[in-house]
Chains A and B, each alone.
Chain A
């Protein structure tokens, strides 16, 4: 039979062990729970100061497609019309601007830089339409055949061994490159210029080009509408919890 002294000593040891364990847990708590990340949204100012301007007109965007041009024409996609209709809807949905129809526009040049410098032309267009802002620019939409061979691993059903084989993977890429320019309808001066690019890739050779185009446009939507209207973006901050 163990003596009383031994039993007391054992109890003390258990006590010390427990206090070490609890102490360890307590001391590790602040380190684990000291900081948490919280998310909330903050406003982002519109890139263009509208300064009370409430009307906009869309001048035709120049289409400068090169390598994918034939593919697009063959598939019957009118890049300019699709984009302008999309832009009109976007402006209506995401901004307070009123869109005024520009009517037929006869460009004095098809060089973007020369056009941008031609303040008389834009002022005249502003006067004619009565729009405070004029939107124009260029569009480059390409459909790219991204098919190629990929090395794939397979296990032979005959001998159970692993082999490698080359497999043809059909993929289509859609690339949209938009230059957007905004002119003051009163003075003809360029107020803003930006370039938006997006690339999307899909499995398959005969992917609907319109679907590809709209995937690009949807990806760019926030950036385009952010020119005219304030938006909110998600942000992260650290909070101390103890």
Chain B
């Protein structure tokens, strides 16, 4: 679903998976990616944070989170980023998480 860009459908399936297996960091990651793809960035941030908190050693999770944080910090409105300063990078340190360039491998 996700591979074909059917993100709304993928989101629905990941939500169902989350209900069946709550607190699974991999499902939370997939949910976060889906929310990001459909433009619900606040929800995506919350879920990425939860996922990385639950599995802090997972390199894929950390890389996703680092990439998201980099995008999100440049995207959200100025006033919001000033108020929320530092919050986006609160969970793990995103810069330390990624050993690759943030986007476009």
Q: Show the binding face of A for B, using Cβ within 8 Å.
A: 35-38, 40, 42-45, 49, 233-240
Nearest residue, chain A, Cβ from B26: A240
Q: Show the binding face of B for A, using Cβ within 8 Å.
A: 2-3, 5, 7, 26-27, 29-30, 33, 36-37, 39, 60-61, 63-64, 67-68, 71, 74-75, 78, 103-105
Interfacial chain B residues near A35, Cβ < 8 Å: 60
Give the dominant DSSP class at A's interface.
Answer: strand
CB–CB A42/B29 < 8 A? no
CB–CB B67/A49 < 8 A? no
Interfacial chain A residues near B2, Cβ < 8 Å: 38, 239
CB–CB A238/B75 < 8 A? no
Interfacial chain B residues near A37, Cβ < 8 Å: 105
CB–CB B71/A240 < 8 A? no
Separation of A37 and B30 alpha carbons in the complex (Å): 11
Interfacial chain B residues near A238, Cβ < 8 Å: 29, 33, 60-61, 63-64
Nearest residue, chain B, Cβ from A238: B60
CB–CB A233/B103 < 8 A? yes
Can you report 5 residue pairs joining A to B where beta carbons are below 8 Å apart? Answer: A44-B71, A233-B104, A237-B67, A238-B61, A239-B2
User: Would A38 and B33 be within 8 Å (CB), given that A45-B75, A238-B64, A240-B26 are in contact?
Assistant: yes
Q: Indicate the member of A234, A237, A240 with the most B CB atoms within 10 Å.
A: A237
User: Would A36 and B3 be within 8 Å (CB), given that A238-B29, A239-B29 are in contact?
Assistant: yes
Separation of A40 and B37 alpha carbons in the complex (Å): 6
Interfacial chain A residues near B7, Cβ < 8 Å: 40
Separation of A45 and B63 alpha carbons in the complex (Å): 22
Interfacial chain A residues near B27, Cβ < 8 Å: 240
Separation of A42 and B103 alpha carbons in the complex (Å): 11
Separation of A236 and B39 alpha carbons in the complex (Å): 15
CB–CB B30/A239 < 8 A? yes
Nearest residue, chain B, Cβ from A38: B2
Given contacts A36-B3, A237-B36, A240-B30, 13 further A-B contacts (CB under 8 A): A35-B60, A38-B2, A38-B33, A40-B37, A42-B36, A42-B75, A43-B39, A45-B74, A233-B104, A234-B104, A238-B29, A238-B64, A239-B30
